[in-house]
Structure 1
Amino acid sequence: MQTDSKVVLFEQTPIPKAVAQLAVPTVLSSLVMVIYNLADTFFVGMLNDPVQNAAVTLAAPVLLAFNAINNLFGVGSSSMMSRALGRKDYETVWRSSAFGFYCALICGALFSLACTVFQSPLLTILGADSVTTEATAAYMNWTVSFGAVPAILNVVLAYLVRSEGAALHASIGTMSGCILNIILDPFFILPWGLNMGAGGAGLATFLSNCVACLYFFVLLFVKRGRTYVCINPKKFVLKKDIVTGVCAVGIPASIQNLLNVTGMTILNNFTSAYGADAVAAMGICQKIYMVPMYVSQGISQGIMPLISYNYSSGNVPRMKHTISFSRKAALTIIISVAALFFLFPGTFVEMFMKNETIIEYGSHLLRGFCLGLPFLSIDFLAVGVFQAVGMGRESFLFAILRKIILEIPALFILNAVFGLYGLCYAQFTAEVILAIAAILVLKKLFRRLETEGTGLQAPSEK
């Protein structure tokens, strides 16, 4: 069933063109997703109500927790699929796809149920108080209680479609939901519309994710017989090689996102001690920071199928050239954006809320955040390579290093020594050390590949 165009893309297309064909649509969809994330903050900010803006910020860790499921079954299954494509093992491709889809569906439903049943203690853990609880709960009702399943399936299906090189279709699906969300936000949030505040932002997010899922289901129906993405329940089996192959990559990626949730929750709890204005400023800076972060992530995710395919097929020089070219492109973009954030922080913060106190807080915080961006891009690329070639252990170690060993302890220390403005330097501290470790591990991988002459295979694939 493999088409000539897929073979040409993975095996023969010049690296700059192949990277552009895979990464550019992914980066564009990531940027649209950033705008979609910024839209909630922007339109809620137009209410000039720090409580409503704080609600969106406080709920963010729960939405980020979706990525634990997304990465477990999206990253894990897509990596397994691309490596199997490189070996021309199409049965494994189909079974990996079905396994990822149905496990994501089941886990999304369980996540939604758990968050609904235990909403009250969850709000307390997130840092909501008597002032922000009602608005935060309204936002989470739509985005989590009703919206967890479509939000998770939307992302997982994009990963599965991207694994066979169809980056454009994956991006269209993701962007369709994001654009609809941006259109619906002002109508649901602002006084001239339904005036629902943060709850309206949640409703718009829920509807947009449902539309994105519908796009992918229609795509798979239209392309049936011409796609490797399979959601036929008959292909959903718990075979050991499928489960271990997906989980070897997916579990470390999932743990990384759970630790991100933990880190963000700690950060928000520290910030909440300084008041609603500080929480709103931190939330705005985090959303601004997402722009270059998602660009780095988009490049890393976009090239994963190309790396996986050539790694599995034994074309090590092509794999190395892909990584080298992508690193240079990512650093050029990220350093430019970080410089703008550092030079004009107040201008970016003011775009979301014209409050002098929040602009003052945000200007200091954004400068601290942007210093870690170049190092973050290196770290994302390295972890993307680990995921692409099945190096789950290295992905897991980097996740532990990033949060438990480096960033979370840094939050406690910097908050105690420097207060609010010290919090924004915790990530910079972690990413510098991780960037050095990433370069060393990648060099070791390249030396090993050159010695062996072929790609390393996970135990489950031998």
Structure 2
Amino acid sequence: MDKKNKLEFMDVKKLIIKMSFPAIISMIVQALYNIIDSIFVARISEKALTALSLAFPIQLTLISIFVGLGVGLNSYISRKLGERNRDVAINTAEHGFFIGILLWLLFAFSSAFVPEMFFKLFTQDQEVIFYAVQYTKIIMIFSFGSIIAEVCMNILRATGDMISSMKIQLLGAITNIILDPILIFGFLFIPELGVKGAAIATALGQIISMFYALILVLGNQKFKLNIKKFHYSKLITIEILKVGIPVTFMQFLGSIMLSGINLILALFSGTAIAVFGVYYKLQSFIFMPVFGLTQGLMPILGFNYGAKKQERVMDTLKYGSIYAGIIMLLGTAIFQIFPRQLLILFNSSSEMERLGVGCLRIISSGFLFAGIVTVLSTYFQALGSAPVSLIVSLARQIIILLPVAYILSLFWGITGVWIAFPIAEITSFIIGLFFTVKVIKKSDKYYETDLLYA
């Protein structure tokens, strides 16, 4: 089989595994280093762990923007390659670097005033605020490593090269894991830096992965970029942003959701915020493999949509949903059976354990629905209809979750907050199915006109 045509001709079941496996491995390692980061910080103090929980919404906001840009690039590049329009695909990739640099300049500037203003909304504890501001400023100032690496990885993914993308993520994650204990607690001539050390380890991991990513992308002879010949195109920018902005907002909803839940939990205790922060790091270990799966699905869906191979698009959606369901069922079993063991990893106090066991068991009951919804969202994004994904995510994380969490907290306390999560997952699953059926019924017309509305 001609390797360059695998997106078009390889058996879909095998192709999904081939395309997704490298991304799944790298995302698991990514989740692992996020967890290890918090495990080490928890050894400093519970306040330091609370600070990282409060800082995570800002960190997630940055990630949301990076991912939105990356998905916009991936979607448009893969569609243009499917249409055999290589020149536009290459110019689109070059636009990714241009937009990425502009975004980094914005983040670096805003790091001077945004963090402290944000954290004072949640707590007046000066120690927690100090740790959170210290960590966040470093992440924002050195975010160029993460955003350029994300651009490079999505260029490679759009061309079907998932192995290189995996190597980039593994390099950054492993570097972070190695540097975390060294910089946090000190080693030999390196002083103990505490929370600042955790931030520096993260930034260095991202910068090292960025350099490696640039070597791979700029040295790729099959998809040859020439930055010197870059010419700006308003049309290409619009096409990137048309998918990227809704995806960014969809990801950004996670930051709003985290902030909203933290505000509700702050009414009870700082320990409740720490527990939710621990849960969110742990659940990433389950969700990250599904995100890796969708990274493999994106170019398959986009390429075959561009090539107008409807049957392969639908097979990819079907088997992608099955694989996501299997991953989520395994994750649910882990959270149901081993909640205490998971919490002990974070040096949990008796109060953290008391709140955390219920948190992990109740929220994980909605994992299966969340996994399938994630695949459905990727389906819409790949076909250039990201606003549909935004609608589903808006319902899932904001419109349903936050009001229900607040209302139930008035009746059942913190337990009511946890119950709101599976309610939101099931509801968004139903909404996602509605839009999926709507798109499938109109698919013949979409493939004839090359337009997709939902």
**How would you bin the TM-score normalised by the shorter chain?**
over 0.9
**Does structure 2 retain, via aligned residues, the 8 Å contact 1:174–1:212?**
yes
* d(CA) in 2 for partners of 1:25, 1:190: 32
Instruction: State the match for 2:215 in structure 1.
Output: 218
Match of 1:170 among 146, 165, 178: 165
**1:172-211 correspondence to structure 2 within 5 Å:** 172-190=167-185, 194-211=191-208
Seen in structure 2, the aligned counterparts of structure 1 residues 124 and 183 have a Cα distance that, compared at 3 Å, is same
Match for 1:66 among 62, 66, 72? 62
- Aligned residue for 2:112, secondary structure, equals helix
| Equivalent position of 1:83 in the other structure | 79
Q: Give, in whole Å, the separation in 1 of the partners of 2:200 and 2:35.
A: 15
Distance change in 2, residues 1:353/1:438 (3 Å): same
Q: Which residue of 2 aligns with 1:18?
A: 15
- Which of 210, 230, 244 is 1:235 aligned to? 230
1:140 alignment partner, one of 129, 136, 139:
136
Q: Of 306, 312, 315, which residue of structure 1 is paired with 2:306?
A: 312
Q: Give the residue type in structure 1 aligned to 2:54.
A: L
Identity of aligned residues (%): 24
Q: Is the 8 A contact 2:180 2:197 kept in 1?
A: yes
Q: CA deviation at 1:51?
A: 0.8
In the alignment, does 2:359 pair up with 1:365? yes
- Offset of 1:110 from its aligned partner? 0.4
The Cα of 1:266 is off from its aligned counterpart by: 1.4
CA distance in 2: counterparts of 1:157 and 1:126, whole angstroms: 36
- Quote the Cα distance in structure 2 between the aligned partners of 1:256 and 1:63: 15
- The one-letter code matched in structure 2 to 1:393 is P
| One-letter amino acid matched to 1:383 | S
- Give the whole-Å Cα distance in 2 for the aligned partners of 1:171 and 1:249: 23
Q: Give the match for residue 39 of structure 1.
A: 36
- The whole-number CA distance in structure 2 between the counterparts of 1:97 and 1:251 is 17
Shift of 1:138: 1.7
Output one character per residue of 1:374-426: Cα deviation in whole Å (capped at 9) or x when no partner: 11111100000000000133123223222332122223212222222222233
For each residue in 1:349-388, what CA deviation from the matched residue of structure 2 results, as whole angstroms up to 9, or x when unmatched?
1122142221222111111221121111111000000000
Deviations 1:1-34 (A, max 9, x none): xx94121x11111112211111111111111110
- Give, as a single letter, the amino acid of the residue that structure 1 aligns with 2:163: L
Equivalent AA in structure 1 for residue 71 of structure 2? V
Distance 1:255 1:333 in 2: 25
Assess if the C-alpha contact under 8 Å between 1:40 and 1:56 holds in 2.
Answer: no
In 1, distance between residues paired with 2:90 and 2:186?
Answer: 49
Match of 1:422 among 393, 412, 416: 416
Report the counterpart of residue 340 of structure 1 in structure 2. Answer: 334
Is 1:449–1:455's contact at 8 Å kept on the other side of the alignment? Answer: no
Q: Which amino acid aligns with 1:5?
A: K
Q: Which runs of 5+ in 2 are unaligned?
A: none
Contact 2:152–2:217 under 8 Å retained in 1: no
Cα separation, 1, equivalents of 2:180 and 2:258: 24
1:61, distance to aligned residue in structure 2 (A): 0.5
Q: State whether structure 2 residue 76 is matched by structure 1 residue 103.
A: no
- Tell me, yes or no, if the aligned pair for 1:15 and 1:318 is still in contact at 8 Å: yes
Opposite residue 152 of structure 2, the aligned amino acid is: L
Residues in 2 aligned to 1:44 and 1:380: alpha-carbon distance in whole angstroms: 30
Q: How far apart are the structure 2 equivalents of 1:63 and 1:340?
A: 27
Question: Given residue 99 of structure 2, which amino acid in structure 1 is its aligned partner?
Answer: C
- 2:88 paired residue among 89, 92, 95: 92
Q: Conserved in 2, the CA contact under 8 Å of 1:79 and 1:390? A: yes
Q: Which amino acid aligns with 1:140?
A: T
Q: CA contact under 8 A between 2:136 and 2:199: conserved in structure 1?
A: yes
TM-score (norm 1): 0.92
CA distance in 2, matches of 1:407, 1:98: 39
What is the distance in 2 between the residues matched to 1:83 and 1:322? 16
Kindly state the Cα deviation for residue 452 of structure 1 after the two structures are TM-superposed.
5.8
Amino acid aligned to 2:432: A
Aligned residue identity for 2:438:
K
Q: Does 1:411 align with 2:405?
A: yes
Decide whether aligned partners of structure 1 residues 68 and 286 sit closer, same or farther in structure 2, where only a CA change above 3 A counts. closer
Bigger CA drift: 201-210 or 188-197?
188-197
The residue number in structure 1 matching 2:370 is: 376
Deviation at 1:451?
5.7
CA displacement 1:317-343 (0-9 Å, x = unmatched): 111111111111111121122022012
Instruction: Give yes or no for contact 2:446–2:452 (8 Å, CA) kept in 1.
Output: no
Q: Which residue of 2 aligns with 1:50?
A: 46
Query: Residues 51 and 321 of structure 1: is their aligned pair in 2 closer, same or farther, counting only changes over 3 Å?
Result: same
1:278–1:358: 8 Å Cα contact kept in structure 2? Answer: yes
2:25 aligns with 28
Q: Give 1:129 shift.
A: 3.0
After superposition, the C-alpha distances for 1:78-137 in whole angstroms (9 at most, x for unaligned) are 100000111011122012111122112211220221122333212213546323011112
Which residue is 2:319 aligned to? 325
Q: Please tell me whether the aligned partners of residues 252 and 399 of structure 1 are also in contact (alpha carbons under 8 angstroms).
A: no
Matched residues, number? 451
- Any gaps of 5 or more consecutive residues in structure 1? none
TM-superposed CA distance for 1:245, in Å, is 1.5
Equivalent residue letter for 2:46? P
- Give the corresponding residue for 1:285: 279
Does the C-alpha gap of structure 1 residues 368 and 450 become closer, same or farther in structure 2, counting only changes over 3 Å?
A: same
TM-score of the two chains, using structure 2 as the length reference: 0.94
Letter in 2 for 1:371: S
